[in-house]
Chain A
Amino acid sequence: MADLRINIAGVELENPVVTASGTFGFGREYGEFFDPGELGAIAVKGLTLNPREGNRSPRIAQTPAGILNSVGLQNPGVENFIKFELPDLKKHSAKIIANMSGNTIEDYCSMADRLSGTEVDMLEMNISCPNVKQGGVAFGTDASTVHKITSEVRKYAKKPLIVKLSPNVTDICEMAKAAEAGGADALSLINTILGMKIDIHTRRPVLANNVGGLSGPAVMPVAVRMVWQVASAVKLPVIGMGGIMSAEDAIEFLLAGASAVAVGTGMFKNPMLPVAVKNGIGEYMDQNNIKKVSELVGAVRVYE
């Protein structure tokens, strides 16, 4: 039997399959379809310091091989998460990744501080959010800001800190290096790609927010490329995601350099997808006589 265990920044996951933040809530709903204990880790819905209602609906549009979403970070806030969601999440063997969003560096620091005192296993900082002090430009689109926010939050984070990179940048490696220099323990990518869908009959955007984040199979080649570039540019472990629909897709990410993979939008089509991905990786390893999943990580043989 293949050994699926993988170590990310000192945290050992039973297997490399994670559920992507925002697609899995706090595990209750998909937990009716499969045992969340089958997962290596669960990245919970993006948390903010205070509860947030999010954007108006419609918040979803279907696009070729994917979707746009504009949820706008609806969540119960970090305190309600700790009180009402975390205890049940910790009943499973899956590691818990608390995904954090904010509009100021102070927001992230307070959350990192608060969550470090709980049973969460890792912190994931979503830096695709608008920085209100800098005219709403996303934190993750400027290397010096990425360095600053990472090093500030680092001071409060007593758990491994994952920085989740935005793909809406010219050079993702620059951001990855800035996060590494700022003290990140791991990186995750990609977040959604900003997009838009217009209904030509009403001449209105489908999303009430006009624009939203693209995810699903449409983004996968971009995601694999970015994971490969980032994994080659930094020493940090990478959690790869974007459009995974099968074990084969997940193996591409591993070969590109991801130590673990996250499954997100694909669950909307197949709620059992994370289990299928996990089992499929094991089968591929058995067929190819690979003993440890780490042997696959970054094993793509690129052309000179």
Chain B
Amino acid sequence: MQTGGTEVAYLKSIQECEIISIEQIAPQIFDMWVKNDVLAAQARPGQFVHIDCGDATDNFLRRPISICDVKSNAVRILFEVKGSGTAALACKKAGDVLDMLGPLGNAFTVLEQYRRPLIIGGGIGIFPLYLLAKQFSEAQVFLGFRCCERVVMEQDFKNVAKELHITTDDGSYGYHGYAVELLERKLAAKEGDIIYACGPLPMLRATKALAEKYNVKCQLSMEQRMGCGIGACLVCTCETTSKGANHYKRVCKNGPVFWSDEVTLNG
């Protein structure tokens, strides 16, 4: 871009992403690899892409989807079909080109002093946790699903985690109950030095409470309806607290990952 005769390199631009593969792996769940050098080079665990799902009439807003995995020049995303945007994405074919912004948001904090993480996820919240689990050799992973047929990425996580625990709400696969119950057992046994969580709000609330009870550091990845996705429009806030005062922070820019003692989880 020219400004006053000098070349200015802007940090960000729209990323054109060619779909390498798209596959349905469970009811309503799609697994997609797209080719893009910038996303692949920059993506860190916990970040997301903001995807233009098509025409401005039905899908005016971009959809935020987590980066699940990365290889040299490609990134992997998994998404569940919920409404019109994800339905439009599910109809795409290899060779189609998607318009994405990213990588956006902060990322999970991975620190040298915490190498024995307890990673807990539920439903679509498990996807960003895969790239995170890959950063560790001693990750213990707890994944909660509604029922057997919705269990996905089991083999992927098995390959990278030291231990993998699958739970289902109805007991049709793995442990019958909630993933947080297994998390608590580990915490009670003094295992793990940090917790990372992404999933439905009740899971995040329970995880935050456990982190406080056992006095373990904990990061939560939050979800909220987004507008611009880059921090300008202030629509995707979550309530945070510091020094007794509550403030709304931007999930897309200050998050999606927050320390559990920072967020109130009140909306």
Contact = CB atoms under 8 A, between A and B. Distances in A.
A48 interface: no
Given A32-B230, A65-B56, A271-B101, A74 B237 contact: yes
B56 A217 contact: yes
B3 A33 contact: no
| Residue in B57, B61, B101, B233 with the greatest tally of chain A CB atoms within 10 Å | B233
B14 interface: yes
A267 B267 contact: no
Interface stretch (B4-12, B184-192, B195-203, B206-214): B4-12
Q: What does DSSP make chain B's interface, helix, strand, loop or mixed?
A: loop
Contacts of A67: 60-61, 227
A103 interface: no
Contacts of B233: 22-23, 25, 60, 69, 71, 268
Q: What does DSSP make chain A's interface, helix, strand, loop or mixed?
A: loop
Interface stretch (B38-46, B135-143, B164-172, B245-253): B245-253
A188 to B, nearest CB: 18
B4 to A, nearest CB: 8
A29 B227 CA distance: 13
Interface residues of B, number: 40
Contact of B10 (A28, A33, A270): A33
Contacts of A66: 60
Contacts of B231: 25, 28-29
B237 A268 contact: no
A54 interface: yes
Contacts of A74: 234, 237, 248
Nearest to A58: B225
Interface in A130-189: none
B164 to A, nearest CB: 33
Contacts of A205: none
A190 B53 CA distance: 28
B52 A71 contact: no
B224 interface: yes
A243 to B, nearest CB: 10
Given A29-B231, A269-B61, A271-B14, 16 more contacts: A25-B231, A25-B232, A25-B233, A29-B232, A34-B10, A35-B8, A45-B234, A59-B235, A60-B227, A60-B235, A61-B225, A62-B59, A74-B234, A208-B267, A267-B232, A270-B14
